[in-house]
Structure 1
């Protein structure tokens, strides 16, 4: 991919922000310059999906974004990326690979807490991040989002939320009654309403997080920010995902999968994770079976928020053995 198209969906390392004191977290924009693994000849990339046209009343800026993202999706599909097959004979992985990927994705942060897009260093310790309370997901749409598209996005989000609940065994459901995981579908023309809405949801949100939303470049397709119930904590209590509505259908669905899944606590991307959406190369558009296993490991009740790698990895190894049928 051209060098200008560097960041993909996931400012999703979940900016882990504390509700009180708001010592923000990690952003994880996805880098699409990474070259994907070679695919076997028998796997043929899907035909490019038609882009969802921007509404006639959209501004020039919004129409320009819609055209840009339509070209981007077509380019990715033509290169065999944005796969929706979940993996195949070219993406086999072992129990040790799964364990390694869990450690790198769930127990590492791409960006330093409280510093926006500043990369985390090797010495920056992290820990298990997850929800312990029920998750109530709501979908909100900007005034400029077409009604038909909003209805489709709500259906896609609802289906994915149900899938995540089955995978994790954690109570996750769509609800407009006292939600704590907000998914905002907004166009460029809705930009002015985004920051005020975030302030309504989290009145003492860190200004660093707000600046990311205020100055969002087109290279960041969507993002999620998660907040702990305790200052500096790892037990999530609120999350906000922002998805650009100018995306064509597959990119928008990809954003739903990545942002909501990362908002559950899989906060990092790793170039060796495959088949996975937690990777910078855009090879896979949708949550894979590998990613489902990562979530099942994370939501094992033996793993608690705040556990270090030293504490968590022996438990994760036991869980991987249970999932993969290997020795404990």
Structure 2
């Protein structure tokens, strides 16, 4: 749907979305001391009250956004209004004005699933390139939503619900096991604002060991035209099988741009890492026409996780199978 500013790979890849308009509460553990009771005590002896422990602080307690963050939120609101006024950020999934057939699906899948827009940056820790080969998840995906301090409680509840709903949709479309968890996640979706750079950098260092400093610099102070990105990481032993992903979405985004980021970055974190100007109706396009996952995009995800395609398969070897799958999905004969 949009053009990434940069693409890094440390032990994984970074997909940065650049908008086309600019180019639980913590559990409290109480330790109760048990003392021997004296049988001589009577009921007239009043028990001593136990000291009351102070309440535990809330996890990432809400801190109101700064003036600079509020200015950025107003900027994004203007951007969203402008796009909607121009008929962009469509949520209808396409219609009679956006026809596509099996050949379109086949072509778009090859471009979006097998290639990256900036292959010169697509290197892994082992320096092996995965350009022209299929990458996806093999292990079950455990999604956890995390919030930086500047995200309000109201937005946390709304964002968590949308991530949970979209996770269920992605699992149904791909046939791959995906669930929302509160611990031991391997797919993290962060919502953080302009004021939360230090928090996000600290968390990324924990989640992505050996992460490149340029990426940390980008996270600490992202440009205003970068509204969300995803890092999808394989292992050195299996460069085409993702084992971890991190999505970061700006807290200042208004509703539609926020939902658009959830859809695009979570879908790309599954393995559809490229964009194509020829893909329509699709969120994997630079033109911002569609905000939410379309029927075309659902078919791409179904193809990506079809068992007839193995992680690491080269595009040349995959073409005959891709052609068959595309025609099956469109109800067209070979």
TM tier relative to shorter chain: 0.7 to 0.9
Decide whether the 8 Å contact of 1:8 with 1:220 is kept in 2: no
Distance 2:308 2:261 in 1: 29
What is the total number of aligned residue pairs between the two structures? 291
Decide whether the 8 Å contact of 1:26 with 1:113 is kept in 2: no
Decide whether the 8 Å contact of 1:9 with 1:255 is kept in 2: no
Distance 2:239 2:188 in 1: 20
Give the alignment of 1:49-88 within 5 angstroms. 57-88=64-95
Q: Which residue of 1 aligns with 2:159?
A: 153
Counterpart among 214, 217, 222 of residue 211 in structure 1:
217
Q: Which residue of 2 aligns with 1:294?
A: 300
Q: Which residue of 2 aligns with 1:125?
A: 131
TM-score (norm 2): 0.81
Decide whether the 8 Å contact of 1:129 with 1:305 is kept in 2: yes
Decide whether the 8 Å contact of 1:12 with 1:267 is kept in 2: no
Q: Which residue of 2 aligns with 1:47?
A: none
Give the alignment of 1:1-328 within 5 angstroms. 8=2, 15=8, 17=9, 22-30=10-18, 32=20, 57-112=64-119, 114=121, 125-230=131-236, 233-328=239-334
Decide whether the 8 Å contact of 2:12 with 2:234 is kept in 1: no
Q: How far has the Cα of 1:275 moved from its partner? A: 0.2
TM-score (norm 1): 0.83
Q: How far has the Cα of 1:56 moved from its partner? A: 9.3
- Give SS of 1:137's match: strand
- Give SS of 2:247's match: strand
Q: How far has the Cα of 1:26 moved from its partner? A: 4.9
Q: How far has the Cα of 1:114 moved from its partner? A: 4.5
Q: How far has the Cα of 1:113 moved from its partner? A: 6.0
Q: How far has the Cα of 1:242 moved from its partner? A: 0.3
Q: How far has the Cα of 1:214 moved from its partner? A: 2.7
Distance 2:3 2:163 in 1: 16
Q: Which runs of 5+ in 2 are unaligned?
A: 24-61, 124-128
**Which has the larger displacement, 104-113 or 275-284?**
104-113
Q: How far has the Cα of 1:32 moved from its partner? A: 1.5
Distance 1:102-1:12 versus aligned 2 partners, 3 A rule: farther
- Give SS of 1:138's match: strand
- Give SS of 1:27's match: strand
Decide whether the 8 Å contact of 1:82 with 1:282 is kept in 2: yes
Distance 1:146 1:34 in 2: 27
Distance 1:60-1:112 versus aligned 2 partners, 3 A rule: same
Distance 1:207-1:318 versus aligned 2 partners, 3 A rule: same
Decide whether the 8 Å contact of 2:136 with 2:304 is kept in 1: yes
Distance 2:217 2:22 in 1: 27
RMSD, matched Cα: 2.5
Distance 1:300 1:93 in 2: 20
Decide whether the 8 Å contact of 1:136 with 1:181 is kept in 2: yes
Distance 1:178 1:12 in 2: 29
